[in-house]
Amino acid sequence: EAGVVQSPRYKIIEKKQPVAFWCNPISGHNTLYWYRQNLGQGPELLIRYENEEAVDDSQLPKDRFSAERLKGVDSTLKIQPAELGDSAVYLCASSLEGRDTQYFGPGTRLTVL
Amino acid sequence: AQSVTQLGSHVSVSEGALVLLRCNYSSSVPPYLFWYVQYPNQGLQLLLKYTSAATLVKGINGFEAEFKKSETSFHLTKPSAHMSDAAEYFCAVSDLGGGNKLTFGTGTQLKVEL
């Protein structure tokens, strides 16, 4: 069974540029999560989807971050414009239902110059 | 609010020695507790989880953890370290009432020496 797929794996951009990350969850998993992991820290939840609905986006900086999961399968996280402090690893995870174990993708390492 | 404290950001052991990684949690409701491992440039892999059944939980790669409510602890152990165990380990707590949001500790980097 394929795991959570993320692309790109690495991205380097200059500040004020836009950037987007893509995630394809494990087949059949209804719940999808985006986390941000700063250097030397544990991951922090940005947003959680149940199918197409964003059920917890309280930690998403909505002035510059947006996310979508239009068909309830894959998802895109966007930052526009990026700031230096956005440099981090962005992790996507999925679970069968909202109460089940979360499985993580390899992450996208973003560097903002 | 939930929180997790991992004591020791770096732990070094000799190959074959006991591995002990410490985790203490704070939760207002009975928690679900997890240990994840992260190898360089990879995502997090689930080692084991406690979901209110047996207090001693066995996971993959010979790891186990014991839930101690009186100590609010969930320490991770392995009897004999292997070089391949070198990685970063994260303890996490989930409040299912909060929709399975995981709150992670800051991680412990495990180094295994010959």
Q: Which member of A31, A42, A109 has the closest CB to residue B90? A: A42
Taking the CA of residue B98 and the nearest CA in chain A, the distance in Å comes to 9
Using DSSP's 3-state secondary structure scheme, residue A87 falls into coil
Asked if B41's CB is within 8 angstroms of A40's CB, the reply is no
Task: Kindly list the residues from chain A whose CB atom is less than 8 angstroms away from the CB atom of residue B3.
Answer: none
Asked if A101's CB is within 8 angstroms of B46's CB, the reply is yes
Answer for the pair A39, B109: CB distance below 8 angstroms, yes or no: no
Q: Nearest Cα to A104, choosing from A37, A18, A41?
A: A37
Judge whether residue B114 has pLDDT over 70.
yes
Report the share of chain B in percent with pLDDT over 90.
74
Answer for the pair B29, B46: CB distance below 8 angstroms, yes or no: no
Report the share of chain A in percent with pLDDT over 70.
97
Taking the CA of residue A105 and the nearest CA in chain B, the distance in Å comes to 5
CA angle A32–A37–A40, rounded 5-degree value: 155
Q: Residues A77-99: pLDDT tens digits?
A: 999 999 999 999 999 999 987 66
Beta-bridged to residue B44, according to DSSP, are B38
**Residue B81, CA distances (Å) to A54, B45, B46, B89 in order:** 42, 18, 18, 14
Task: Kindly list the residues from chain A whose CB atom is less than 8 angstroms away from the CB atom of residue B4.
Answer: 42
- Per-residue pLDDT, averaged over A46-60, amounts to 92
Judge whether residue A1 has pLDDT over 70.
no
Asked if A102's CB is within 8 angstroms of B102's CB, the reply is yes
Judge whether residue B98 has pLDDT over 80.
no
Q: Residues B3-39: pLDDT tens digits?
A: 999 999 999 999 999 999 999 999 877 788 999 999 9
Answer for the pair A100, A2: CB distance below 8 angstroms, yes or no: no
Q: Which member of A95, A98, A104 has the closest CB to residue B44? A: A104
